[in-house]
Amino acid sequence: MNTHLLALQLMAAQGCLGAFDTIYHHEITEALPQKASARLELTIHATRALIYSLLFVGLAAWEWHGAWAWVLVIVFGVEIVLTLWDFVVEDQTRLLPATERVTHTVLAINAGAFIALLALNSSEWATLPTALVWQPYGWLSVFLALCGVGVGLSGLRDAYAVWQLGRRKEVAEKETEDLQFASTPQSVLVTGATGFIGQQLVSALLADGHAVTVLTRQPKQAAWTFDGRVRCIQSLNELADAQRIDMVVNLAGARIVGKRWTDARKAALRRSRVVLTQELVAWIARAQHKPRVLLSASAIGYYGVQPQGDATELAEDDAPQAIFMSQLCQEWEAAARQAEKFGVQVGCMRFGLVFGHQGSLPQMLLPIRFGVGGPLGSGKQWVSWVHVRDVIRGIAHLARRSEQGAVSGAFNFCAPEAIEQRRFAQVAGTVLHRPSIMPTPAFLMRALLGEQADLLVEGQRIAPRRLLADGFVFRHPQLEGALRSL
């Protein structure tokens, strides 16, 4: 049995599995290069990828004799240490989806097998004169060399992402360094703190000197995410009735886009929004010190869908519709407004499509990055969007206004410039220097997503009338500037 050939075949399988893991998990579903909390994990990935690039290319058609065999053993040792370190960092910083856990397990077993086989060969190679001996295996050697190039490029991509995340952190800190939520330090309760918006909000609150408590299903992960600087609770029952909370920001809610809206999924979406908000109000009812304000998330889905070709701007006093997304928002806001009975100011924040390095934008831009993007459906539907840093600034604005008793009702969190979807595709293509002319038919979106396709192929033109009237100034009012900042 040729154990060296078997080791190379297992390496080829490792290349295929690794490519799947990188593209599907790290790039698409988890979007690690966009997460500030993933910088250390990406650093490890970049180092491991460059080591694997060396192994794939170096072992594709050469045998490592003499001193080179010991170099190979040392490289194996470094790779094993990095893999174990990677497992620890992943466990501390994020909750891996089931498919990624399974893939990582298979990758670890396969890597252990080919490393063991190559290590056995290395003991024999070490007794030979030092040399790199040419020993090709036809198409297998070609495939392994290509894997080496691919994983090397992946390593460089991760290293670039680490550098970019460092730059983004500096920009974010600069933009929020003058952000003030209140005139004095506050005690703030945040739900949905580990989400896309929640992470940036908590970081801004901490930078402004406030004490933050987060309600989360994953307290360990939340504690690691915020470097142990927040109090993490799994249940509102962990808050004593005498606990003083000055402000509550309610951002919790299961992801809207993704799974089909079956009856079971709709029930889960209601539980994660309406039921949790009702539990918050129940805690407020028994709290000895009532919060000054509850800022509760909602969405512009409240307004339903707007007929295509209708350019009317919808504002906070426009009516909802009898469709699921609108009804969900109505129930969500009604649950939050119950806190007014206890003397709490309630502001319902109707978010448009929030653009940032996480959320929906990376997925929206992905086909454009590859040159196969374009308008969705007719392209005539309106896209009402907002930059994530304007969301945080808007929350801070309402928090300050609540000190004057001036927060009540709904506020549209959308940039002043709504834009047609086809124009969004054009602007995104310009910013990314890519063509953006390939349309995605509406019927295909509906076949894939069902009822929730309305979120993408229908739209609303929403105006942030109340925020503007209240003196709020958007830092990113236009789409092109917002995309370039990201």
DSSP output for 310-328:
--PPB-TTS---SSHHHHH
Half-sphere exposure of 374 (CA within 13 A, CB side): 11
Q: Residues near 25 by Cβ (< 8 Å), separated by ≥ 6?
A: 97, 99, 100, 103
Q: Cα 57 vs. chain centroid, distance in angstroms?
A: 34
Bin 195: left if φ > 0, else alpha if -120 < ψ < 50, else beta: beta
Is the separation of the CB atoms in 173 and 207 below 8 Å? yes
What is the rounded distance in angstroms from the CA atom of residue 211 to the CA atom of residue 200?
A: 15
User: How buried is 75 (Cβ within 10 angstroms: 0-12 exposed, 13-18 middle, 19+ buried)?
Assistant: middle
What band does 18 get if pLDDT is binned at 50, 70 and 90?
A: very high
Cα–Cα dist 343/59, whole Å:
71
For 194-310, strand residue ranges (E) read 211-215, 231-233, 247-250, 293-299
What is 61-77 written as a DSSP string? Answer: SEEEETHHHHHHHHHHH
User: What's the CA gap between 255 and 471, in Å, rounded?
Assistant: 31
Q: Label residues 422-438 b or e (16+ Cβ within 10 Å = b).
A: bbbbbbbbebeebebee
Residue 167 parent element (H or E): helix 139-176
Q: Which candidate, 46, 48, 40, 125, places its Cα nearest to that of 80? A: 48
Checking if the pLDDT of 178 tops 80, the result is: no
**Rounded-to-integer distance, Cα 64 and Cα 55, Å:** 11
Q: Does residue 451 carry a pLDDT above 80?
A: no
Q: To 10 degrees, what angle do helices 421-432 and 361-369 make? A: 60
C-alpha 35: how far from chain center: 6
The predicted pLDDT at position 449 comes to 61
Question: Sorting pLDDT into bands at 50, 70 and 90, what band is 277?
Answer: very high
Residue 226 confidence (pLDDT) above 90: no
Q: Is the pLDDT of residue 42 over 80?
A: yes
Could you give phi then psi for residue 63, rounded to 5 degrees?
-105, 140
Calpha distance 166→37 (Å, rounded): 11
Instruction: Please tell me the predicted confidence (pLDDT) of residue 53.
Output: 94
Q: What is the pLDDT of residues 298-357, one digit of tens each?
A: 999 999 888 888 889 999 999 998 888 899 999 999 999 999 999 999 999 999 999 998
Q: Is the pLDDT of residue 38 over 90?
A: no
Domain ranges within the chain, ordered by starting residue: 3-169, 179-485
Using one digit for the tens of pLDDT, what is the confidence trace for 63-110? 999 999 999 999 999 999 999 999 888 877 777 888 998 999 999 999
Distance of alpha carbon 474 from alpha carbon 394, whole angstroms: 8
CA-based nearest residue to 389, from 204, 181, 113, 146:
204
Average pLDDT over residues 412-439: 90
- 350 strand-pairing partners: 298, 412
Residue closest to 181 by CA, chosen among 249, 229, 128: 249
Q: Is 459 within 8 Å of 424 (Cβ atoms)? A: no
The CATH architecture annotation of domain 179-485 reads: 3-Layer(aba) Sandwich (3.40)
The rounded Cα 301 to chain-centroid distance in angstroms is 21
Worst-scoring range by mean pLDDT, 63-77, 166-180, 230-244, 468-482?
Answer: 166-180
Span 125-171, pLDDT tens digits: 999 999 999 999 999 999 999 999 999 999 999 999 898 888 777 76
Question: How, if at all, do strands 131-134 and 62-65 pair?
Answer: antiparallel
Tell me, what's the pLDDT at 193? Answer: 92
Give the pLDDT mean for 208-234.
89
Residues 6-20, mean pLDDT to the nearest whole number: 93
Give the predicted TM-score (pTM) of the model: 0.77
Residue 176 scores a pLDDT above 80: no
Radius of gyration of the chain (CA): 26
- The counts of H helices and E strands in the chain are 17, 13
Cα(230)–Cα(203) distance, rounded to whole angstroms? Answer: 10
Question: How many percent of the chain have pLDDT more than 90?
Answer: 60
CA angle 158, 162, 165 (to 5 degrees): 130
Task: Give residue 446's pLDDT band: very low, low, confident or very high (50, 70, 90).
Answer: low
Phi, psi for 430 (deg, rounded to 5): -65, -45
**Residue that is written with structure tokens 């290590």 in the block:** 119
Contact (Cβ atoms closer than 8 angstroms) between residue 398 and residue 348: no
Specify whether the CB–CB gap between 191 and 276 falls below 8 A. Answer: yes
